[in-house]
Amino acid sequence: MKHKIEIVIQNVENMEIELDDSNSPNTVKKFVENLPFTVGMNLWGEEIYTDESPIKEKEENAKPLVELNDVAYWPSGKAICLFYGPTPIG
């Protein structure tokens, strides 16, 4: 199932992301169950990542490389990652 989520970033145009639970159903479920929530955002390379989010889920079907516009969850930091360019996950 696909879930459309609106992200509001201060002083920037809102963006919409699509979460597809076919690869990581438990992670997407936790994400949707915790909406709405507020987190700080940071930039690293071609990635926007959040400060610690309310999502607490173990690693689920991780992949070493991401594609443009991928959305990922980093369990160690409880962070959500938005990729606007290909970035190796490190």
Listed by start position, the domains of the chain span 2-83
Share of the chain above pLDDT 90, in %: 73
- Model pTM? 0.84
In terms of Cα–Cα distance, which of 52, 50, 51, 61 is closest to 28?
Answer: 61
71: which strand partners?
Answer: 82
Class of domain 2-83: mainly beta
Tens digits of residue pLDDT in 19-41:
999 999 999 999 999 999 999 99
Residue 63's pLDDT is 87
CA torsion 47-52-55-58 (nearest 10°) is 80
Q: Measured between alpha carbons, how far is residue 61 from residues 26, 57, 64, 70 in Å? A: 10, 12, 10, 14
